[in-house]
Structure 1
Amino acid sequence: MADPHELLALARTMADPVLERWQTLVALETPSGDAGRAAVFGERLAAGLAATADSVRQPPGPDGAHLVAYWNGREAKDDEGEGPPAGHTLLVAHSDTVFPAGTITRRPFALAEDGDTVTGPGVFDMKGSLVAVELAMDLLSRTGASPRRPVRLVVVNDEEIGSPDGSRLVARHAEGAHAVLGLEPPLPGGALKIGRRGVARVRLSVRGVSAHAGLDAALGVSAIDELVDQLTGLRATATSHPDAALNVGTITGGTRANVVADHAEAEIGLRYTTPETEQALLRALLGPTAVRERAALSAELLSHRPAWAMDPANPLAAELIALAATLGMDLPIGSSGGAGDTNLTGALGIPTVDGLGPAGAGAHGEDEHASLSSLLERAALIAAFLVTH
């Protein structure tokens, strides 16, 4: 079995190849929904993982192939004569970013003068995490070690838009998992995420009746007026729940000022921290009652992630914190206001910790950056956890 300190020391010698790999993955842009770019990136990622994985598969999805890599773990009996423990360790990541194609030309990958800060679109969320997991498995390979349990890595290509297809892949591979390690970026200060608010996106559509707004207004039914009333009611429902947040992201409708609008729709974002609030908000949104007699309403759930309640006594987090301490690393814990694929596994009660990507800041923004030294440390921590747990 590899010694955790040996893994960390080895990781710290690999800054140059890590930077080269990081730059390669960042340069291959992967905006959500771009199947062509997802395919190119997936092939390059699969090739890197194949160096250590027992198998790599690329299951298809509407926006291109996702990726699942498998490591068998130790098959031989341990010193006590026992075989490998039951259950696999699931690593969860994503390949897509929020940046449109061409961003890399304006903001190329770069290493700052401090020799540690890396900038570029997607370096923090979450190309650095993909490099870290590759390095973690490479560290085990170089030291002749194997994970204690079988390991699966799921990389979805639609996380930034709510994993409308990728979530089924995460759910499938979460079955039978002993533990789930989310590779999303950490909270400020490198803190692990042991809880997440739930999030949902709903499209609310209204059909009204068009009419001349000056001559025959009474014959019409304004879809826009109906939508405004619906949104006012939804706002009141959200306000009655202290842990709820509602954001009307887009509104469209109507044709011109002298025509009673016969159509309107809004895309609405919801956030919540408890199942009770989640159910109340979704019930109000997905089962609307029209205010106007001739207005027709329909609601479509575009994406949904359940709330993952924070448990300060999370035993998986405690194991990681203790392991990090032996390596001289401090691992704070916290809860995230954002949602991700670990919402699902955490809500299902599977031991889950997220935020194991390298430290940094500025996700989704112009100032996105991440730490090279943190990436090396996180890779060593992941490798040490896999070999000991």
Structure 2
Amino acid sequence: MSPNATAPAAPTESAGEPDTTSAPGGDDPAPGTEALPGLSGTLAARARTMEGKVRRRCAELARIESPSGDASRLDQLADELAAGYRATGAEVRREPGPAGDHLLMQWPGQDESLPHLLFVGHHDTVWPAGTLADWPVTEHDGMLCGPGVLDMKAGLALLEGAFSMLADLGLRPHHPVRVVVTADEEIGSPDGRRVVERQLPGAAAVFGLEPPHEDGRLKTARRGSTRVKLTVTGHEAHAGNHPEDGTSAVDELVDQLVAVRGLACQPGTELNTGRIRGGTRANVVAGQAEAELGLRFSTPEAQRSTLDTLAHLTALRPGALVHTEVLSSRPAWPEREGNPLLRHVRSLAAALGQQVDGAPAGGAGDTNLAGARGLPTLDGLGAVGAGPHARDEHIALDQLAPRIALLAGLLAVPLPRLRSR
């Protein structure tokens, strides 16, 4: 296609859901590609030429440390991301937050009357500042390794590369596109959630830039997750002379945690006690204690029931007070029957010479907010790799070009109708 050619408008929708089913590896073109002669081959070929640029970009982003909660470092990375995306034609807005700025970016579509596509990602990582000193970003054996390279600097670099490739071809996305990059996803998006949720109304589809399953499958559902802090207040006293005058917050917390562990026996609920602290000295009855719990839920019902139980905890011993605080929460995103969005992506991938499938995921992310509302949602469109949150975190370099082409195709090709009228 000539760089100055204009793609025709999306085909008129029929009254029924278009059948975009294609066997993995099949030759059926994705909806819309037949209206864009040569697009599939052009995207696949051009993506291979973009691979080196995106690989270098991913390494650049990973070398800017951005731990959750470190606003100055996160804002430094936000500056770099904003500049890179502006170069592709984006309108960029900063959304200030207590843990650093979130980014909201927009591109016009070929047809501005169409609903927008929404991509969600994050630029915070779980790795503390200084990690690069003994674990630098390196490339070897077909992998790029380093803190945050998979989760999810590579996803941000890939989408930037896809937009850049379309701009080089003289193309605009078919639909208007919005991208939200949150600064606090790794701690549950306590503030970023509001930025994502503002962009959900009217979205035709929502795509997440988290890494896929290790075998490359996309993520079609996610468990809900909630972080809860239990705080116990007791009464201090001398542990040797007058222990009877005290109420141990530590003892109360231990007993509460033993009782709370029973919640993990309920269907659809998992619990991890991630952090405990309390007391001051061995010879002082503890006056304060707290624990942070991580909970995951397979269903909305399990989430509601468990959080209701935690909200109504009462002290087991006289003189103690128990307080429950929800630090962050994401709703469960259940599997969608039929999943026409996955069928569309699978068919588009086949037109690009790729095999793509999907499966539910155990972890939670910002796409939970869309999937829980019933919006057509897929996650895992970031880089293929392994080891997120671990010292063997890496991406597979030979999978960069296919992912660039797939993202560019999702931007360029009109969506079929994904929901009933």
Same fold? TM cut 0.5: yes
Aligned residue among 145, 164, 173 for 2:171: 145
Partner residue in 2 for 1:36:
72
d(CA) in 1 for partners of 2:244, 2:42: 79
Partner residue in 2 for 1:303:
328
One-letter code of the match for 2:264?
A
Aligned residue among 121, 139, 150 for 1:93: 121
Partner residue in 2 for 1:327:
352
Asked if 1:110 is matched to 2:138, the reply is yes
Partner residue in 1 for 2:379:
354
Partner residue in 2 for 1:25:
61
d(CA) in 2 for partners of 1:112, 1:142: 30
Q: What TM-score do the two structures reach when normalised by structure 2?
A: 0.87
Q: 1:214 to 1:110 in 2, by over 3 A?
A: closer
Partner residue in 1 for 2:400:
375
Confirm or deny: 8 A CA contact 2:92 2:106 kept in the other structure.
yes
Gaps of 5+ in 1: 76-83
Partner residue in 2 for 1:79:
none
d(CA) in 2 for partners of 1:149, 1:222: 60
d(CA) in 1 for partners of 2:285, 2:70: 38
- Equivalent positions of 1:39-188 (< 5 A) are 39-75=75-111, 84-113=112-141, 116-188=142-214
* Residue deviations 1:232-271 (CA, integer Å, cap 9, x gap): 22111321x1321111111111222332222111111111
One-letter code of the match for 1:296?
L
- Equivalent positions of 1:214-253 (< 5 A) are 214-239=240-265, 241-253=266-278
d(CA) in 2 for partners of 1:261, 1:381: 57
Q: 1:85 to 1:371 in 2, by over 3 A?
A: farther
d(CA) in 2 for partners of 1:19, 1:43: 19
Confirm or deny: 8 A CA contact 2:50 2:165 kept in the other structure.
no
How many Å apart are 1:183 and its aligned residue?
0.6
Partner residue in 2 for 1:203:
229
d(CA) in 2 for partners of 1:67, 1:175: 18
d(CA) in 2 for partners of 1:108, 1:235: 39
Matched position secondary structure for 2:178: strand
* Residue deviations 1:180-217 (CA, integer Å, cap 9, x gap): 00010001211100111111111111111222333332
Partner residue in 2 for 1:15:
51
Partner residue in 2 for 1:254:
279
How many Å apart are 1:336 and its aligned residue?
1.1
d(CA) in 2 for partners of 1:203, 1:88: 37
One-letter code of the match for 1:29?
E
Aligned residue among 300, 304, 311 for 1:275: 300
One-letter code of the match for 1:170?
V
d(CA) in 2 for partners of 1:63, 1:316: 33
Confirm or deny: 8 A CA contact 2:342 2:357 kept in the other structure.
no
d(CA) in 2 for partners of 1:268, 1:119: 30
Confirm or deny: 8 A CA contact 1:129 1:375 kept in the other structure.
no
Higher mean C-alpha deviation, range 266-275 or range 17-26: 17-26
d(CA) in 2 for partners of 1:218, 1:180: 58
* Residue deviations 1:275-309 (CA, integer Å, cap 9, x gap): 11101111121221111232111111111111111
Confirm or deny: 8 A CA contact 1:234 1:284 kept in the other structure.
no
C-alpha RMSD over aligned residues: 1.4
One-letter code of the match for 1:318?
R
d(CA) in 1 for partners of 2:113, 2:143: 39
One-letter code of the match for 2:291?
A
Matched position secondary structure for 1:203: strand
d(CA) in 1 for partners of 2:105, 2:69: 22
d(CA) in 1 for partners of 2:72, 2:120: 22
d(CA) in 1 for partners of 2:355, 2:338: 17
Matched position secondary structure for 1:167: helix
Higher mean C-alpha deviation, range 197-206 or range 309-318: 309-318
How many Å apart are 1:376 and its aligned residue?
1.8
Gaps of 5+ in 2: 1-6, 8-35, 415-421
How many Å apart are 1:85 and its aligned residue?
4.8
Asked if 1:317 is matched to 2:342, the reply is yes
Matched position secondary structure for 2:66: coil
One-letter code of the match for 1:262?
G
d(CA) in 2 for partners of 1:237, 1:110: 43
Matched position secondary structure for 2:125: coil
How many Å apart are 1:312 and its aligned residue?
5.0
Matched position secondary structure for 1:57: strand
4+ long deviations beyond 4 Å: none
One-letter code of the match for 2:122?
H
